[in-house]
Structure formats: C-alpha cells, structure tokens
DNA sequence: ACATTAAATTCGA
DNA sequence: TCGAATTTAATGT
C-alpha cells in the first residue's frame, strides 16, 4: 500500500478529497515496478487498474493493420492512464510498454469505481483529465497529414509538457534522444536530426540526457 | 555504423 | 576521501 505522502505527491485530486475518501483511496493503491522494455499491459487483455507513473517513462501504443507500431502517447512521472478501460470494464485497447525502468502506482477497480461514483471531486478530476486527452488527440487528427519526423518529435515532447496532465512539470525533461525516438516512433538518428532542427528554430535547447523547452506554444503547434 | 564526448565508476594513494 | 584513469552511455554525423 502506498504512503499518504506518496499519494499526495502523485495525485493532484487527492488534495480535493475528504480525509475519509483520501484514506480509502490510499488503501486501494499499490506500487509496482516494471523493467525497461517490459509490457505493463497488452492490447485485448484485461488489466483492472487505473495507473499513474510514479517514476520512469512509458508509451501507449498499438499496431496498425500492416503491423507498424503507432505510438498514441508517451507518459512520464505524474501521468495517469487507463481510466477508459477501467470505467468500461473491458480489455485494454492498446499496449503500455516501459521505455525505461518504471514504477507505477496502481489503483484497483473497486476503489476507482467507488470514488468515481461517490466523490464529486474525484469525478471532476476525471472529466478534466479526459477532456485534456481529447483535446490532445483532436490536435493530432487536425494535423493528420503532417507526419514529418520533426513534427512528430515536437508533438511527442509537447504532450509530455502538458500542464493540465502534469501539474508538476517544469520546462525541462530528463529524456535521452533514444527515448525521444521511441516516443515519436522514429529512429534515434532521426530523432537527433529532428531535435537539432527544433533547436535551430529556437524551440528548445539540448543537453546530455535532457531537453530544455523554450517555446512550448510553438512546439505544440508545430507543422 | 562509427567517431566523439560527457558522465559515471573504479582504483590507488 | 580525493582525483586520475577507465569504462559506459549518449550524442553527432
């Protein structure tokens, strides 16, 4: 079971709950570690937890009919995912793959459903979260054909910096260029060139094992 | 795929 | 415990 302080740190919604609700939530959340490259959950299999990245990096992905990987979204510390499958009580619609050693906080379905039904503050958070995701995906559809590697990298990074989804995130990401490639669905050298392009345009600065964002606005709307 | 460089680790005083 | 030497990891082309 997770500690009260750890829950407070991971879950912005926890602060809005009553003491009793928060304690109830805490008792339904456990931590689990996943090693780099491992599958957290697989498409078409059930995984009855709502999950939060405590530490690490992962991607949600699916395979196109031709067998090509399509990355839906990358997630890092503070991001919650899987509420859709838990609410519908159905198998996952995509895979979650750990891109580095990662620990997740997992809330079991009964706890989730009870909070969802009984706590207005919790439901409010969920609406906010789902709405923000929807906006993100609508942005993707809107720019459907722009699939240049640079644009994909720009959008992949921007999604990790979404203030609504990651309240604690700053302007800096601890992420290697190889991981950027995995998130954007491009090779490492291509990610390197894309990052260089974005740097030349003044959108970000590159460091070893990290990226500093200078212009999130333009990164989000790249292309 | 290879060359370069930064960072992390080991080793010896 | 400090710093040099070595190894490993990330980056650039």
pLDDT of amino acid A147:
79
Residues of chain A short of pLDDT 50, as ranges, are none
pLDDT of amino acid A35:
95
The crossing angle, in degrees rounded to 10, of helices A109-118 and A19-27 is 160
pLDDT of amino acid A42:
98
Q: How far is the CA of A106 from the C1' of C6 (A)?
A: 42
Judge whether residue A145 contacts strand C, using its CB and a 7 Å cut-off: no
Which of the nucleotides in strand B have any atom less than 7 Å away from a protein CB atom? 1, 6-7
Q: How far is the CA of A112 from the C1' of C2 (A)?
A: 53
Nearest nucleotide by C1' position to the A188 CA atom: C11
Judge whether residue A102 contacts strand C, using its CB and a 7 Å cut-off: no
Nearest nucleotide by C1' position to the A208 CA atom: C10
pLDDT tens-digit readout, A106-118: 999 999 999 999 9
Q: How far is the CA of A186 from the C1' of C5 (A)?
A: 37
pLDDT of amino acid A145:
63
Distance, in Å, from the CA atom of A165 to the CA atom of A12, rounded to the nearest integer, reads 10
pLDDT of amino acid A162:
95
Q: Which residues touch strand B (CB under 7 A)?
A: A 189, 207-209
pLDDT of amino acid A144:
62
């Amino acid at each position: 079971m997770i500690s009260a302080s750890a829950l407070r740190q991971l879950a912005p919604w926890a602060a809005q709950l009553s003491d009793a609700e928060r304690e109830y939530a805490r008792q339904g959340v456990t931590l689990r570690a996943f090693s780099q490259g491992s599958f957290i959950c697989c498409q078409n299999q059930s995984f009855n937890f709502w999950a939060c990245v405590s530490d690490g990096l992962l991607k949600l992905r699916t395979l196109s009919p031709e067998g090509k990987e399509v990355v839906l979204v990358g997630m890092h510390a503070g991001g919650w995912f899987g509420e859709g499958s838990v609410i519908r009580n159905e198998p996952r619609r995509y895979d979650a793959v750990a891109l580095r050693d990662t620990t997740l906080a997992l809330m079991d379905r009964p706890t989730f459903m009870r909070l969802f039904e009984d706590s207005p503050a919790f439901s409010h958070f969920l609406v906010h979260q789902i709405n923000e995701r929807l906006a993100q995906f609508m942005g993707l559809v809107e720019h459907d054909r722009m699939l240049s590697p640079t644009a994909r990298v720009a959008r992949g990074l921007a999604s990790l910096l979404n203030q609504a989804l990651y309240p604690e995130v700053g302007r800096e990401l601890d992420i290697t260029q190889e991981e950027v490639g995995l998130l954007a669905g491009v090779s490492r050298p291509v990610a390197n060139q894309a990052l260089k392009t974005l740097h030349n345009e003044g959108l970000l600065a590159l460091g070893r094992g990290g990226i500093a964002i200078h212009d999130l606005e333009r990164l989000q709307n790249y292309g």
